[in-house]
Chains A and B, each alone.
Chain A
Amino acid sequence: MESETMSRPNGNNSDYGAKGWNLIYRELKAFLKGALGSVISVEFATVLVPLLIIWEVLPRSGVVPETLVPTPSKIVATFWQMLIEHDLPHHIGASLVRFFLGFSIALLTAFPIGVLMGWNVFVRKHCLPMFQILAPVPPPAWVPITIVALGVGLPMQVFLIFLGAFYPILFNTYQGVKDTDPRYLASARVFGASEFTLIRSVYVWHALGLVIMGIKIGIVLGLVMLIISEMYGGRSGIGYLLVESKEYFNIDRMVVCMIVLGALGWFLIEIMKYVELKLAIWRIGR
């Protein structure tokens, strides 16, 4: 939206006029409240706590073999140990860098291509068939040829993550833009909107919900490809840690890796939810 109409806070309420650090602090608080609110609640605790207790008690009492099912207390201890001795932050950092490189390249290419394809029949007829042919190839099927072409290392990992995230973002954006209600287009055209203005102020806003949905699916598939690419090659990353713990039969470490991955995915999805909330205030009233 045009910045001059968007950046007008409603009135002189001091809390909404916050600037600089205050603003960051307030937004961060709102984000954490929204993200953690669903996890830290009495209702969820009544489900989670008994589950944790059962998980702790069953291996200890010998109902299930303790060697195969590590208890939560042992997992916490392992997590702490990995954090301090085995450089877990370094591996998480390496994975995140790869993920964000691949994901940002996917977002920066898929979104504009999707918008152009949805907007214009000429572009659509030229580009869409190629993507329709390529998209059904499951991203993991690209692993062998990528390793042959790019070798083992960062370029291969980034490319695989890009492949995972690209198509969901592309097709959701395309669908959202294509399905834009013609009434809105007609009303903007009567007032004289150029095609560029239509894209910027009508198409993209109408498609926003589907775009964010596509980004969420892209995040999930990007994480899948992150693990696959790190399992096949690399000396760092959570996927590498997983394979390494398999080699040594460290089940507790595997579980820690899985929990870290779950938390990562959850956190990224929560960020997208927050972005959606910020961009689509107009939908809340519905």
Chain B
Amino acid sequence: MIEARRISKFFSIIHDDGTAGGLTAVLSVSLRIEDGRFVSLLGPTGCGKSTFLEILAGLQAPSDGEVLIDGQRVLEPLPSTRKEMEDYRRRYRFLSPIANSLFRDRPKHDIAMIFQDYAVFPWMTALQNVLFCLKLRAVSRADRESMARKYLHMVGLTGSENKYPSQMSGGMRQRLALARALSVEPKIILMDEPFAAVDAHTREGLQADLLELWESTGKTIVLVTHDVDEAAYLSDEIVVFSPLPGTVRNRLKVEVPRPRRRNHPTLQAIKERIQSIYRYDSDHAAEYII
């Protein structure tokens, strides 16, 4: 179970006229995601949902609030008083708080993440990419190769094991990122706009693959997307983010039995409801400026 309690994230930024200012990317978001659920975080681009996902993964420290995965805290929040700040600086003067450890390969939590632009290592072949992740999870050397091949086969990359990512198409790289995330058999997969950069046809294929995998393995999936269709079709629950600062604007349960049809009337109703929320927000934009 993932539990986010009042997560806020502030950035300092520089305005166009050269003055310094603050930006609230995420404002007091609380969320509880049960095991085995498929949850989408939906919002317009640049609304802080990717930042929120990175906070869930422990790649950024929240300015306020805390994230618990199975009751265990992911990262401590940033210090707020001068005394705390000095303490924090001293503790992390050598290693950054998001580092795992100096020499031991061990993830803090049983999660995998797929990034917006895949972040597969260009200096490793497809097979080496998967093997690398398996090695980090301390899978025994004898099992590594067969597992890697199994998952590459599962996403349809058989025959491309020795290709480098630069020799692959966008869709194939996306599949490789998926294989890499699945191969370590995590309980939770976080996805940051995984299908944004592939064409519509490939996207539908990948979505179908993803649903099949999710149904057969029962993992928890958190999907960040700006695509209303995608969110409605895939997820059990949609969390709608408002434009900056990112707060939870609405939560919608999608209670349509699976397998779903893409043009199911309930899905259409949900899409229209989300679009009307956005329309209302843009019409009343002035009221939201803090």
B266 at interface by CB-CB < 8 Å: no
Q: Nearest chain B CB to A16's CB is how many angstroms away?
A: 12
Stretch at the interface among B33-41, B159-167, B206-214: B159-167
Q: With CB as the reference atom, state the residue of chain B lying closest to A9.
A: B162
B122 at interface by CB-CB < 8 Å: yes
**In the complex, which residues 169-220 of chain A have their Cβ closer than 8 Å to any Cβ of chain B?**
181, 183-184, 186-197, 201-202, 205-206, 208
A10 at interface by CB-CB < 8 Å: yes
Q: Given known contacts A184-B119, A189-B99, is B106 in contact with A5 (CB within 8 Å)?
A: no
B24 at interface by CB-CB < 8 Å: no
Stretch at the interface among A36-44, A76-84, A277-285: A277-285
* Docked-complex contact A193 and B136, CB < 8 angstroms: yes
Q: Nearest chain B CB to A238's CB is how many angstroms away?
A: 38
For the complex, count residues of A whose C-beta is within 8 A of B. 35
A4 and B103 CA atoms in complex are apart in Å by 19
* Docked-complex contact A194 and B124, CB < 8 angstroms: no
For the complex, count residues of B whose C-beta is within 8 A of A. 47
Chain A residues near B99: list those with CB within 8 A.
189, 195
A5 and B148 CA atoms in complex are apart in Å by 12
Q: With CB as the reference atom, state the residue of chain A lying closest to B116.
A: A183
B218 at interface by CB-CB < 8 Å: no
Q: Is the interface of A mostly helix, strand, loop or mixed?
A: helix
* Docked-complex contact B123 and A195, CB < 8 angstroms: no
Q: Is the interface of B mostly helix, strand, loop or mixed?
A: loop
Q: Nearest chain A CB to B34's CB is how many angstroms away?
A: 22
Selected from A6, A202, A286, the residue in CB contact (under 8 A) with B166 is A286
Q: Which of A191, A208, A280 has the most CB of B within 10 A?
A: A191
Chain B residues near A188: list those with CB within 8 A.
121, 136
* Docked-complex contact A195 and B93, CB < 8 angstroms: no
* Docked-complex contact A184 and B121, CB < 8 angstroms: yes
A196 and B105 CA atoms in complex are apart in Å by 9
Selected from B98, B106, B112, B117, the residue in CB contact (under 8 A) with A183 is B117
* Docked-complex contact A194 and B103, CB < 8 angstroms: yes
A187 and B100 CA atoms in complex are apart in Å by 12
**In the complex, which residues 119-141 of chain B have their Cβ closer than 8 Å to any Cβ of chain A?**
119-125, 127-128, 131-133, 135-137, 141
Q: Given known contacts A1-B124, A281-B164, A282-B164, is B105 in contact with A197 (CB within 8 Å)?
A: yes
Measured CB to CB, the residues of A under 8 A from B are: 1-2, 4-6, 10, 120-122, 181, 183-184, 186-197, 201-202, 205-206, 208, 280-283, 285-286
